[in-house]
Amino acid sequence: MLRTALRNIVAHKARLMMTALAVVLGTAFVSGTLIFSDTVGAAYRNAMSKNLKDVAVSVQSTSPRNADGDGEEPADGRRDSALTDPLADRIRTLPGVASVRPSLSGDTIVVGKDNQPLGREWGNRGVNYVPDRDGKDSRYPLKEGRAPASVGELALDAKSAQRGGYALGDTVRFATDGPALTKKLVGIVGTDDPQVTSGASLALFDTSTAQKLFLHPGQYDELVVTAKPGADNQALTEQVRTLLPKDRAVATSGTELASQEARFITESTSSLTKMLLAFAGIALFVGVFIIANTFTMLIAQRSREIALMRAVGASRRQVVRSVLAEAGLLGLASSAVGFALGLGIAVGLRPLLNATGAGFPDGPLVLRPSAVLTALGVGVLVTVLAAWLPSRKAARIAPIEALSTVEAPPAQRGLVLRNTLGAVVTALGVAAMLYVSTQKDSGALTMAMAGGVLTLTGVIILAPLLSRPLVALAGKVTTRLFGVTGKLAKENALRNPRRTAATASALMIGLALITGMTVGGHSVQRATDEMVAKDLKADYKVTSSHFDGIDPQLSKKAARVSGVEAVVPLRQVGLRTTGDGFLSLTGTDLAQLPKVTDVRFDSGSYDAVRGNGIAVSRTKAKELGWKVGDTVEAEFFSGKAKKQKLTITGIYQDNGIVRDALGTASLIDPHKKPFKDDEVLVKAADGASAGLGKEIRDALGNSPLLKVQDRDALRNQDAGAINTMLNMMYGLLGMAVVIAVLGVVNTLAMSVFERTREIGMLRAIGLPRTGIKQMVRLESVVISLFGAVLGIGVGVFLAWAGGSMTANSLPTYEMVLPWGRLALFFGIALVVGVLAAAWPARRAARLNPLESIGAQ
């Protein structure tokens, strides 16, 4: 039977080619993802091991304190650390300590000569350069120049210097927590820090300068202890802990630190790996339909051969084994090719994702045996499982029945059972999604995913039943437009509903997911635009690129710019209420607020919001069961007077600017530590908005930390993020669509072979070659459009049901159908149908009529 399986693969290699390609693409995605994950993880670990080399103990400062010691950040924004020079000196006296290296760091944004920030949006740091006995810092080897030694000097990492166009002696502009500063570039360094190698910028200062920028003189963020040879690191860690001030510093052994970093690396890469593997699973799931279709058709075509095997003594079990062995060998060969292709995917995936700001570190390609075995095992397993039902069908072929007919119609009982099961599964999926449609936050995400899977699965099971009316409807169009060939195409598509459904389902899955994401993304973008148009009356919004607040003095400077009508700073604090209700409270100057946003009250008014009174959004009031006049006890997340009674004095329509609740600045300010604005809204005087953004930025010191965005920039910012996400999803789901196209090609090609005698008869009675080509093309188009109708319909339904979960964070959300995109998807399905039929149609048209009529 094994020899029979081998002969069948060789004999039908052309017909198995598309199936093999589907397995190749699916396993390539799996192996590429696994290799990429291993490679990135190894790169992180290599960089981590270099950074932790010779680290016996790491002493780190815990939460910052201000002068009052209440656990809040100090008002000047600089942290206060318990790690000082005297503490470092005491640690140096411990037996077994070879050296203590004090270090500190802080957020630092460096701009290039074009005044644009270097590096990505997060992870950009400034650190102190700590020279060893030889005058060099081993963490940051110098490539050019020298180390920074005075307050007016700094060094940069090599990549940042190159991106910024800086050379030694140039003046570098940067900011840490306030106005822009400038220093002279005196050195360029290398580093193995994974944050920097993956795209963040690094600036280095001498220790005293770094302390002035980030902490206070004589203070540090970390003390790195190196042990003498033979010292017990764990015992040394315990000795260090005895010297630390209680609750203000923590000592961690180098071994434990490495373990923590390893867990962090695993967690940080696992989400991306899971997402990529999910799309690989979708691609393989689509491939299952192609594999099952292929083996079903092959078995139908080889029914006489199987019958003869049964007649000469082959048992049903042997027939099943023969088909599964054939599938296993096909899966193994295809998986091997797919694994080789996956190596190329793994190599190209890191620079592709880094181009979108992912920030993965450099490192060699890592090839683990587990990745090889997993890719091969998955490919073989998927192929064998997909061929299992066809193999069972082959085993049921009776010798006499198979010798008397080529293909029997599907049993009615089987279709009834399938339709019943499909109806139940679809009903469960629809019910779950209807429940999700009533939820207003992301808490129902798991239910939404389960409901989406059930809905898709149910429609796939029902596809043969749905194919009859939809294909018949399409057939009326093809018959009216193309006459006899259109009618023949319809009849061919309806001849075997299961085969048509399986072929269309492969395309349906990809289009359903793409449509759902497109509709959701388009609706979110429209909601964002409406929020800007409806809620934001200001012309400019000023925020910090680090999300750590804005100095309140800057709003006063912005108010003095000519052409500015109003400047309204907004400050937010979080609070918890009775019953574990959480909300964000916005405090501002209520007299000026109407100039920058339109807050529409259902009850109450601005005048009623004073003292301990707050106004609450309509959604939050409904969620917490509040009404005007209620008194609630709230616990603020910061400040000294943490618990306070508040009175509900108004309820307003949901507003994207002030969000959950609104109060006076005097209510918020005692709980705002450090005292900073979260954002500043600027309203320009009539006719003065053009070009005012540059004047505002200049008035604020043109700090790299600040973002001054007009209304168009705010829209484009959100649109850019959504489009980037959608383009990535399109690329990942494109693999499933490509596999679905291969399925259409494969089904048509094998169908042409199956209908060789029929095509010969059509040619003999006068149907020209062009008519044969047209018949095959129309059949392909009908199948593709059937898949498109199902896919787009299901995708729109899932987007509608799941979209409600964004209503809490985006009150203006409402599903909007992007008709242009949906029409494009239908057009793509039409093109897929035409292109997929090119080779099968040509092959059918070239058949010799006489030879075809005599074919067995």
Three-state secondary structure along 781-843?
HHHHHHHHHHHHHHHHHHHHHHHHHHCCCCCCCCCCCCHHHHHHHHHHHHHHHHHHCHHHHHH
The DSSP letter of residue 117 is: B
User: Interior CA angle at 20 toward 15 and 25, to 5°?
Assistant: 140
Distance CA 205, CA 125 (A): 11
Sign of the dihedral through C-alpha 535, 540, 544, 550: negative
Closest CA to 555 of 714, 707, 699: 699
Token pair of 828 as six digits? 């793509």
The pLDDT assigned to 530 comes to 76
At residue 508, what is the residue type? M
- Are the beta carbons of 490 and 474 closer than 8 angstroms? yes
Token pair of 301 as six digits? 């075509």
Phi and psi angles of residue 597, each rounded to the nearest 5 degrees, phi first: -155, 155
Distance CA 129, CA 209 (A): 10
Q: Where are the alpha helices (DSSP H) in 98-165?
A: 158-164
**Cβ contacts of 846 within 8 Å, gap of 6 or more:** 769
Which residue shows structure tokens 């052409």?
A: 563
Distance CA 853, CA 855 (A): 6
The pLDDT assigned to 751 comes to 80
Q: Residue 13: which H helix or E strand, with range?
A: helix 13-51
- Are the beta carbons of 320 and 391 closer than 8 angstroms? yes
Which parts of the chain register pLDDT below 50? 65-76, 405-412
Q: Does the predicted model carry a pTM greater than 0.75?
A: no
Q: What is the pLDDT of residues 528-562, one digit of tens each?
A: 777 777 788 888 999 887 767 888 888 888 888 88
Distance CA 799, CA 455 (A): 12
**How far is the CA of 838 from the CAs of 521, 745, 753, 772, in angstroms?**
35, 8, 15, 12
At residue 118, what is the residue type? L
Which residue shows structure tokens 């060939």?
A: 485
The pLDDT assigned to 794 comes to 94
Distance CA 195, CA 201 (A): 8
Distance CA 427, CA 425 (A): 5
The pLDDT assigned to 664 comes to 93
Distance CA 164, CA 173 (A): 10
Contacts by 626-629 with C-beta closer than 8 Å and gap 24+?
A: 626/651, 627/651, 628/603, 628/604
Distance CA 510, CA 529 (A): 29
Phi and psi angles of residue 345, each rounded to the nearest 5 degrees, phi first: -65, -45
At residue 788, what is the residue type? A
The pLDDT assigned to 104 comes to 92
Closest CA to 612 of 653, 674, 661, 677: 661
- Are the beta carbons of 736 and 284 closer than 8 angstroms? no
Phi and psi angles of residue 633, each rounded to the nearest 5 degrees, phi first: -100, 125
The pLDDT assigned to 357 comes to 60
The Cβ-side half-sphere exposure at 347, using a 13 Å CA radius, reads 6
Q: Which residues of 73-102 are buried (b: 16+ CB within 10 A; e: fewer)?
A: bbeebbbbbbbbeebbeebeebebbeebbb
Which residue shows structure tokens 């990492």?
A: 157
Closest CA to 676 of 818, 525, 546, 776: 546
The pLDDT assigned to 391 comes to 85
How is the chain split into domains, by residue range?
Answer: 1-55+254-408, 56-253, 463-535+711-856, 546-703
Q: Residue 449: which H helix or E strand, with range?
A: helix 445-482
Sign of the dihedral through C-alpha 378, 379, 382, 387: negative
